Structure formats: C-alpha cells, structure tokens
Amino acid sequence: MLIRSLPFVKTVVLWAFIAFACLPLVQMTIISFIATLPKPGVDVGSMTLRNYAGIWEDANLRSAFINSIAYVFINICITIPVAIPAAYAFSRMSFVGDKHLFLAFIAFRITPPVVLTLPIFQLFSSLGIVNSVFGIALAHCLFNLPISIWILQGFISAIPKEMDETAFLDGYSRPRFIWKVLLPQIAPGIAVTAFFCFMFSWVEVVFARILTTTNGKPISMAINALFGFQTDIGLVMAVAAASMMPGAVLLFAMRNHLSRGFKIGKV
C-alpha cells in the first residue's frame, strides 16, 4: 500500500516544496505591482506599473544594474581562466602539497566575507580599486575561485585520461592540449561554472557594501539606499524582482546542465 502510493507522495512533496520556494517570490511580485506611496495620478494600494517605470527613470538604479552586470562579468573573466589550469592540475597531476593546497582553497571558500572586510578594504584602497566594479570583482574571487576549481575539476575528471595520453603521443604540449582538446570537451562545464559564479557574485552584499561607499554601487546596495524614512516598498520589490530577471533567464537557459555541475571527484 505504502509502496504503491510512493510516486503520488513524491509528487505531493515536490509540489509542496515548490509552493514554499515560490511563496516569498509571489509576495514580492504582487507588491511590486502595487503603489505603496502616494504619487500623482495613482492611488495608494492600486495596481500599477509605476514601480517598474520608476526603475527606468532613476539614474542611480539604472547605473546600479550596469555596475552589477559589469562586476559579475569581470569576475567571471578572472575566475574561469585562472580556475581551468588549476582544476586540470588537481584532476590529473599529483604534486607536493596538492592536498594541503586544496584544503587551503576550501578554507578560503568557507571564510565569510565579514571576517576579511576590513583588511580587504585597506588593501584595495591602497591599490586604488575601491569604489570601482573591478574591486568587487576581485574580492568575489575569494569564494568564486575555489568553487569554480571544484566544479571544473569534476568535469575534467569525467573525461577519460586516455584522451590526454593520445594527445601527448600526437605531440601536444599540456597547455596546447588544454586549449585545443580539453576546452571544447568541458564547454558545458565552463558554462555551468560561469553560471554559479554569476549566482554567488550577483547576490553578495558584504564586500559589495564595504567596497562601494561613493561609486560603483551594485543593485543590492542601490536597494539598501531606497530604505529610509518613507520607504517605497513597492519600488523596492520591483527592483528586487527586476534584479532576479537576468539570473532567472540564465537559470532557464542552463536548466538541463545544472545538475551536472557538481560531479564529485577525488582530490
């Protein structure tokens, strides 16, 4: 009896979880379409598209979207090229201290940004990269680089080692092998890695806050700036909803590769 009803139970559990996952998002979407502060021509509490129009009209919010896209893009451009050779090395070679190095990388991934905010702020101001998107992009490597190495390492380990050996017999050097043979093979892996970099970087706020006091504010900080004496919560929710859009589009584009992102390999 219990066993026969298992598929039914599974469906119910899954739908319940999906409902739970969507509930706050539904709330967000509803409020984003409601006028929450008195404005000419719209009654408080009525349905409106004003909030979304407000994003477009506000120069700060517009530039916040551009900043966010810029730093996430720069972060991916740093992370992926640096992570690929490292992932290859962890996957294929054993060298003195490899296990300890991987441990150190993991330790940096789990280091909460708040622990390192003060010195990173000082270091970056002496390098002259605070208040710029480049600073945030670099700081986010702290957690994105280890996780990228881990994901890519899984993808590389899934490729049979014979392929390396045949390529070497054909006269390929290691770097040329990585460029010509390995990269096309792990292309989906690179896409998945880039997506996870995007995801973790887009939503981060601790570094983003301390590194942008005057300029280069990303969306999360622009939202913070909206909170005040009279908060237009409708606008806040509209910005939040809009900030999820690029991620949601990527998420649906990547959906069939998502689950392959975390193949587990030994180090």
Q: Which helix (H) or strand (E) is 55 found in, with range? A: helix 50-57
Q: Name which of 131 and 205 has its Cβ closer to another protein.
A: 205
Q: Are 144 and 135 in contact (CB under 8 A)?
A: no
Compute the least distance from the CB of residue 122 to another protein, in Å: 7
Q: Name which of 85 and 187 has its Cβ closer to another protein.
A: 85
Could you tell me the two tokens for 200? Answer: 């973790």
End-to-end CA distance of the chain: 44
Q: Name which of 8 and 40 has its Cβ closer to another protein.
A: 8
Q: Are 83 and 192 in contact (CB under 8 A)?
A: no
Q: Name which of 61 and 236 has its Cβ closer to another protein.
A: 236
Widest Cα–Cα separation across the chain: 75
Compute the least distance from the CB of residue 256 to another protein, in Å: 5
d(CA 88, CA 84): 6
What would you report as the CA-atom Rg of the chain, rounded to the nearest whole angstrom?
Answer: 23
Q: Name which of 21 and 59 has its Cβ closer to another protein.
A: 21
Compute the least distance from the CB of residue 247 to another protein, in Å: 4
DSSP letter for 191, please: H
Q: Name which of 214 and 256 has its Cβ closer to another protein.
A: 256
DSSP letter for 179, please: I
Q: Are 236 and 223 in contact (CB under 8 A)?
A: yes
Compute the least distance from the CB of residue 57 to another protein, in Å: 21
Compute the least distance from the CB of residue 40 to another protein, in Å: 22
Q: Name which of 55 and 86 has its Cβ closer to another protein.
A: 86
Compute the least distance from the CB of residue 61 to another protein, in Å: 13
- Nearest alpha-carbon partner for 213 in 205, 202, 221: 221
Angle at 218 between CA 230 and CA 202, to 5 degrees: 115
Compute the least distance from the CB of residue 77 to another protein, in Å: 12
